[in-house]
Structure 1
Amino acid sequence: MKRFYLLPIVCCALSISLSAQENNGTATTSDADGNRILSADSLVTTDARLDSLYQTLPEVMITGERPIVKAAQGKLVYDLPRLIRNLPVDNAYDAVKELPGVIEVNGGLQLAGQGVTVILDGKVTTLGTGQLYALLRSIPASRIETAEVMYNAPARYQVRGALVNITLKQSAGGPGSWQGELYAKYRQKHDEGFEQRASLLFSKNKFSADFLYSHSHGRGYSTTGKEAVHTLADGSVHPMTTDEVSRGRSHAHSFRAGADYDLAKDHQLSFVYDGAYSTGHNHRDITGTQVSTTRSNSTDRLHNGRLDYRAPFGLKAGAELTYYRSPSDQLLHSRMQDEELDFYTEDCQRINRWKFFLAQEHSLGKGWDLNYGAVYTTGIDNSYQYYYDPETGERLTSSDALSNMKSHRREQTWDVYAGFSKSFGDNLVLDGSLAVEHYKTPVWSQWDWYPILNLNYMPAPGHILQLSLSSDKDYPDYWAVQDAVSYIGGGYSELHGNPLLKPAQEYELKMTYILKSKYIFSAWFNHTKDYSVQTLYQSSERLVEIYKTLSFDCQQQAGIQASIPFNVKNLLNSRLTLIGLWHREKDGDFWDIPFDRKQCYGIAQMNNTFTLSTKPDLKLTVTGFVHSKAIQGIYDLPASGHVNIALRYGFAKNKAILNLYCNDLFETGQISPRIRFRTQNVTNRYSCFREAGVSFTYKFGGYKEKQREAVDTSRFK
């Protein structure tokens, strides 16, 4: 544990050594962190259905010494290319992590302690988290022009809650030309992994077309040690000690093709297709109190097509179709005391989803703007899960231990909104909207109102005050609401669906003050009703631990934050971020052990970018992070931290970039969550490996590309 508190000292020592040489410096671009924060695998295995720990960490703000942000109609507009110019960032996903307020938590992006939606060129589609992040990782960072950050997105964006809108460079008209970029990466994290990417753009006069292909593949290795004391209702106590070793290999392909045609000025028709195909093969062995062997295979297929039309008088219209299919299988042999499990499982999720939207914007003069529109989304979830005898191949009948499932579930959402913005001179902007939504499923049919209000005040150049009030709804994953039981971790652990799971409703009040366009101070309070998260419960009726997504009574969070950058001429660019939080989670009907838990905790992070040389172009980035102990549900999350380093070398007139990196240098980034709450007693210890790698990027043809909107698959399994 002492290693955690040494992490920031490493970064501070490097900063002080240069500060002793140079006491005054000129403004430079900002440093930013490109790190995974508290990266934790699933609670038992790397199964993607299991929610991660740390669902609601607060923001980590990032800013530069020179002004790199301006305020406009409820949003902060960042010069993102300048933020990442000296950093080892080679794709859009890593670039987004460099934005002030954005952090990565277990492979997911958050802004101000809440999930954030990322869109491209102002377009929102029906695909989400998994495929969206894969898409962002495949887009070269060199294509980004600006980034718009909204803590509370106005209704005209067709997104509620936090939003990051990435604007990509537009290809200029004129004679035909080809431009592109090639990329390759090798990483070593116990086992090896590879990534290749190619991007092309053709533009001529009013027509442009683009193509993108990426391929990632490699092997994975992880271990999990479990120590538990399981108490049953009859008073019997059962010690549990197991060791799990998981090995796997995977391939992932993503491809993207699109075309734009300018019918006239501000009169455009565009079409884009996104596709993805991936396979995974895993082998898990468990020894100890339980002895089991698991073999599993999975395949994901995604097809998404979108047609957009934009008229010069403020009209936008579009239609989108998404098809997603994810079959998988599992062969399990398990022995524990007198219990035996031997079965073969096949399951599949198939989603067909359509979206249609119509939007209109008006500029009324005298600083007034008006917007309104309607969005209709409908989706059909066809899913099944069947158990078979591994020897005869016959389908097993449902029982207490095995549960077959077949589902045909339809959702419909109508969303109608209206909003306005008003500029009171050059210093004050008010932006507000109201959305009315009808959400219908086989279980729920409800109306909801979503007011949003943003106030931007600029008392002097470089000073920005933002005050915002927002409301939002978070929908459960499709698989989480299926009436299905899956076996994970060798059979002692079960994953249960919850057909009665409610959408969560969140309300937040937030104030942000930016001083001299670089020092950022924030304070916020949010309340989430029916907050849902996957938690572990040791059954009192039988020897099994159950993972199930439940709706808590509420979650509340109050936080303050300060982000302070400093530099030493052109030699060092640093930033110190301090965060303090009060966190509460309450559930009055959590199985047979209701809880109301509160915790205060803190975060400290320091980022440093050293300019080793300008000719040749060499830069070193060092980041240190520490997080004190926290809670999630009945989990106690211990303190953790990490140090990441990266060396960037640019050559060939900046057409070629070579990056060398090492993440989690001291192997301290992984946590070992534990439960000591009433009858519950579990500790999971996960393996932690440093990751080292090298990547190479080469641009040709003066590469400038217009890219497309992101796709929403956040609720797929």
Structure 2
Amino acid sequence: MKSYYYLSLMLCALSAGVSAQEITKSTDVESERTLSADSIITQDKQLDSLYQSLPEVMITGQRPIVKAEQGKLVYDLPRLIDNLPVDNAYDAVKELPGVTEMNGGLMLAGQGVTVILDGKVTTMSTEQLYSLLKSIPSSRIEKAEVMYNAPARYQVRGALINITLKQSTGGPSSWQGELYGKYNQKHYEGFNERASLIYNGNKFSADFLYSHNHGRGYSLTDKEAMHSLADGSVHHITTDEMGRSRSHTHSFRVGTDYNIAKDHQLSFVYNGSYSTHHSLMDIYGTQQSNTRSNSTDWLHNGRLDYRTPFGLKAGTELTYYRSPSDQLLHSSMQDEELAFYTEDCQRINRWKFFLAQEHNLGCGWGLNYGAVYTTSIDHSYQYYYDTEKDAGTKVGVSTGIPDNMQSRRREQTLNFYAGFNKSFGDKLSLDASLAVEHYKTPVWNQWDWYPTINLSYMPAPGYVWQLALSSDKDYPDYWAVQDAISYLGGGYSEIHGNPFLKPAQEYQLQLTHILKSKYIFSAWFAHTKDYSTQTLYQSSERLVEIYKHLNFNYQQQAGVQASIPFDIKQWLNSRLTLIGVWHHEKDDDFWDIPFNRNICYGIAVLTNTFTLSKKPDLKLTLTGMARSKATQGIYDLPSSGYVNAALRYGFAKGKAILNLYCNDIFETGQIKPRIRFGTQNVTNDYACFREIGVSFTYKFGGYREKKREEVDTSRFK
């Protein structure tokens, strides 16, 4: 309570020190992290899915410059982040008004958003895409295009952010580059080193990138539960969990472009990564457990694009992903014991082919159509060995542990789309499209159609109204649909796959208003049929809590959002973001306790950048966030908030930047989810640690950057 008092006092002080004058700055976000039940296989530090539906924090800009084009808002992102402690493309995207960060991912107006580079959509997963964005220097960004409802020609449904990277054409050959290093301390230390090099020639250009993230992690979780069984007995369970880990991630990329003629280009890009993760987890209390886990991930992604002057685009992409891991677990609780060794692996081979055509018909009319075919094969296995029975041999499976799993699962998606756009003078424009898609797996074989409509009206310069209607389908992760059982921590928590998990279908209506090219207001309503998320359930048959992805009847959200920048002369730039959400979820067959829950919650974010000195270039950024309590499924999510601070020093004629920062100063950012519903009674208290760090960036050779694209790996484990 004392920490929340300090937090509230800080936010009030920030607000009181600012008058509502002109416009400029905005907000930054720090995601709330906890270990996901899914991460037992890969030991990735993902967040539990219970955070996925909470808009977390908005973002900022100094002198926000935005203009409207057909169906999209175009931001001068370099100016938005000019005075902010932002050093990579991922953090730069977070500074766009309306963008939030939750569960280690990005949201736009409370809904999921896809990020692409230079208009190119790839098969790399969301997690791998975010890793790539974090390795790209923010100085390479030219602009950002925000679409609350992407037209079908982008080969993406729903919200989309297209990051355009700077490109040099013609002129003499040149080399430019950037070096970056970061150290941070969040109980344990972490490091990041990055090098980027770009060659620009008359017709040929290439870029090279290498990034290395490494360090140690530490987590503490206190669990208290009252577990009711069908026989009427109630068991009081209390545990203290301590996790320690160390990891290395190497990311690398090589991209080339050859300009055959004007608007006639052949491009190739390779993205790769290699990572290792080792973790130790000890649990004390009602359950005594010791777990040792290791995992390794390889990713290779190659893409070839061809673009012609007459609007034809074609390309192909290959993604290969392999993630073997192992786990040694010894656990005892009451009269039951578990002792086993497990090996598992996910291997994905995925191909994508696309062909697209656009026509400019004159008189403000445009026509586009195309086809996209994607196919993937998932080779996965999970083997259990009884260490007590077969110590040293790892042969033979005990009857007291789950069955082995081995599968070869193929997915195919064929998408056809057509659309048009029309400008009615300088004030009104319309962009509409329809996509028809066939989705086939061993379980599902169905056709769906996805309409998209964007209507933009600009009554005067700086004033924009945009109305967007969209539809989308969200496919489950590959591992979530495997018929496998694994363990989180000790033997009390199990993760169950769901082979019959349905894709979720979402429909959203969004209205956005931009006032004076600075103030942004939006309202939306979204209905998601068969919404799925990983949920916790205390079994009535035995002493175990089960994490499993389940389809709800639906999820509904209605929300409003306001992004209000202001400044005081030349020394303070600020942005206030307010979000209000009505959240409703219903599931009639959730185990033996159906639910129908709704709640209203709010988020307030205030970001302030103080110009302490222009010579030397010294700026201080202070950000505060407060959020009221919310729900997800049968979870109750208490209120939370944080205060972050960063000091930025630029020197050497702008070529060097030194950044000092402290995140979650009062250690209030981590929520403590709990369940008090029907027979379910669980509280998870996740420890929260303040993070301090320092980073240094140096640019050389003028650094007149180049463009590149991303990849999709969100459904990998």
Partner of 2:29: 35
Structure-2 separation of matches of 1:699 and 1:305: 28
Partner of 1:467: 467
Q: Secondary structure at the match of 2:559?
A: strand
Q: Secondary structure at the match of 2:52?
A: coil
Aligned counterpart in structure 1 of residue 367 of structure 2, from 347, 366, 370? 370
Which residue type is aligned with residue 150 of structure 1? Answer: M
Q: CA deviation at 1:396?
A: 3.5
Partner of 2:158: 161
Partner of 1:500: 500
The within-5 A match list for 1:566-605 is 566-605=566-605
Structure-1 separation of matches of 2:213 and 2:59: 29
Structure-2 separation of matches of 1:321 and 1:613: 50
Partner of 2:191: 194
Q: Give structure 1 stretches of 5+ with no counterpart.
A: none
Contact 1:8 1:624 in 2 (8 A): no
Partner of 2:313: 316
The within-5 A match list for 1:60-71 is 60-62=57-59, 64=61, 66=63, 68-71=65-68
Which residue type is aligned with residue 547 of structure 1? Answer: Y
Partner of 2:121: 124
1:263-301 per-position Cα deviation (integer Å, ceiling 9, x unaligned) = 111110010100000000000000000001000000000
Structure-2 separation of matches of 1:233 and 1:673: 25
1:500-555 per-position Cα deviation (integer Å, ceiling 9, x unaligned) = 00000000111111111111111111100000000000000011000000000000
Partner of 2:342: 345
Answering whether residue 76 of structure 2 is matched by residue 84 of structure 1, we say no
Deviates more, 1:466-475 or 1:575-584: 575-584
Count of aligned residue pairs for this structure pair: 711
Structure-2 separation of matches of 1:38 and 1:300: 24
Q: Secondary structure at the match of 1:53?
A: helix
Answering whether residue 296 of structure 2 is matched by residue 299 of structure 1, we say yes
Partner of 1:427: 427
Q: Secondary structure at the match of 1:3?
A: helix
Q: CA deviation at 1:63?
A: 5.5
Answering whether residue 613 of structure 2 is matched by residue 613 of structure 1, we say yes
1:631-675 per-position Cα deviation (integer Å, ceiling 9, x unaligned) = 000000000000000010000010000000000000000011000
Structure-2 separation of matches of 1:633 and 1:677: 10
1:313-340 per-position Cα deviation (integer Å, ceiling 9, x unaligned) = 0000000000000000000000111111
Which residue type is aligned with residue 35 of structure 1? Answer: V
1:553-581 per-position Cα deviation (integer Å, ceiling 9, x unaligned) = 00001111222221101111111122211
Q: Give structure 2 stretches of 5+ with no counterpart.
A: none
Partner of 1:331: 328
Which residue type is aligned with residue 384 of structure 2? Answer: Y
Answering whether residue 284 of structure 2 is matched by residue 287 of structure 1, we say yes
The within-5 A match list for 1:433-582 is 433-582=433-582
Contact 2:63 2:80 in 1 (8 A): no
Which residue type is aligned with residue 96 of structure 1? Answer: V
Aligned counterpart in structure 2 of residue 53 of structure 1, from 21, 43, 50? 50
Structure-2 separation of matches of 1:524 and 1:659: 37
Contact 2:384 2:401 in 1 (8 A): no
- Evaluate the alpha carbon distance shift between residue 510 and residue 378 of structure 1 in structure 2; reply closer, same or farther with a 3 A threshold: same
Q: Secondary structure at the match of 2:51?
A: coil
1:198-254 per-position Cα deviation (integer Å, ceiling 9, x unaligned) = 000112210001100000100000111000010110111111000000000000000
Q: Cα RMSD over matched residues?
A: 1.6
Structure-2 separation of matches of 1:334 and 1:457: 63
Q: CA deviation at 1:60?
A: 5.0
Structure-2 separation of matches of 1:557 and 1:455: 22
Partner of 2:245: 248
Structure-2 separation of matches of 1:163 and 1:482: 29
Seq. identity, %: 76
1:116-143 per-position Cα deviation (integer Å, ceiling 9, x unaligned) = 1110000000002111111000000000
Q: CA deviation at 1:148?
A: 0.2
Partner of 1:262: 259
Q: Secondary structure at the match of 1:517?
A: coil
Structure-2 separation of matches of 1:412 and 1:82: 42
Structure-1 separation of matches of 2:602 and 2:31: 14
Structure-2 separation of matches of 1:149 and 1:209: 27
1:356-405 per-position Cα deviation (integer Å, ceiling 9, x unaligned) = 00000000001101100000000000000001133142333374631210
Partner of 1:622: 622
Structure-2 separation of matches of 1:114 and 1:328: 32
Aligned counterpart in structure 1 of residue 227 of structure 2, from 230, 234, 241? 230
1:59-84 per-position Cα deviation (integer Å, ceiling 9, x unaligned) = 75545574500000100000000000
Partner of 1:103: 100
1:444-465 per-position Cα deviation (integer Å, ceiling 9, x unaligned) = 0000000000111011111111
Answering whether residue 182 of structure 2 is matched by residue 185 of structure 1, we say yes
Contact 2:63 2:79 in 1 (8 A): no
Structure-2 separation of matches of 1:3 and 1:526: 35
Structure-2 separation of matches of 1:63 and 1:34: 6
> TM-score of the superposition, structure 1-length normalised?
0.97
Q: Secondary structure at the match of 1:341?
A: strand
Contact 1:576 1:607 in 2 (8 A): yes
Structure-1 separation of matches of 2:646 and 2:81: 13
Contact 1:65 1:518 in 2 (8 A): no
- Evaluate the alpha carbon distance shift between residue 14 and residue 166 of structure 1 in structure 2; reply closer, same or farther with a 3 A threshold: same
Structure-2 separation of matches of 1:445 and 1:399: 36
Q: Secondary structure at the match of 2:7?
A: helix
Which residue type is aligned with residue 284 of structure 2? Answer: T
Partner of 1:697: 697
Structure-2 separation of matches of 1:499 and 1:201: 45
Q: CA deviation at 1:417?
A: 0.2
Q: CA deviation at 1:33?
A: 2.8
Structure-2 separation of matches of 1:440 and 1:50: 30
Q: CA deviation at 1:31?
A: 2.1
Structure-2 separation of matches of 1:43 and 1:680: 18
Contact 2:59 2:100 in 1 (8 A): no
Q: Secondary structure at the match of 2:3?
A: helix
Which residue type is aligned with residue 88 of structure 1? Answer: P
Structure-1 separation of matches of 2:416 and 2:48: 32
Q: CA deviation at 1:107?
A: 1.0
Structure-2 separation of matches of 1:65 and 1:282: 41
Partner of 2:663: 663
- Evaluate the alpha carbon distance shift between residue 14 and residue 582 of structure 1 in structure 2; reply closer, same or farther with a 3 A threshold: closer
Structure-1 separation of matches of 2:60 and 2:665: 25
- Evaluate the alpha carbon distance shift between residue 468 and residue 426 of structure 1 in structure 2; reply closer, same or farther with a 3 A threshold: same
Q: CA deviation at 1:37?
A: 3.7
Partner of 1:271: 268
Contact 2:37 2:488 in 1 (8 A): no
Q: Secondary structure at the match of 1:130?
A: helix
Q: Secondary structure at the match of 2:49?
A: coil
- Evaluate the alpha carbon distance shift between residue 294 and residue 24 of structure 1 in structure 2; reply closer, same or farther with a 3 A threshold: closer
Structure-1 separation of matches of 2:572 and 2:457: 32
Which residue type is aligned with residue 413 of structure 1? Answer: T
Q: CA deviation at 1:58?
A: 3.4
1:658-697 per-position Cα deviation (integer Å, ceiling 9, x unaligned) = 0000000000000110000010000000110000000000
Structure-2 separation of matches of 1:665 and 1:271: 44
Which residue type is aligned with residue 404 of structure 1? Answer: N
Contact 2:62 2:80 in 1 (8 A): no
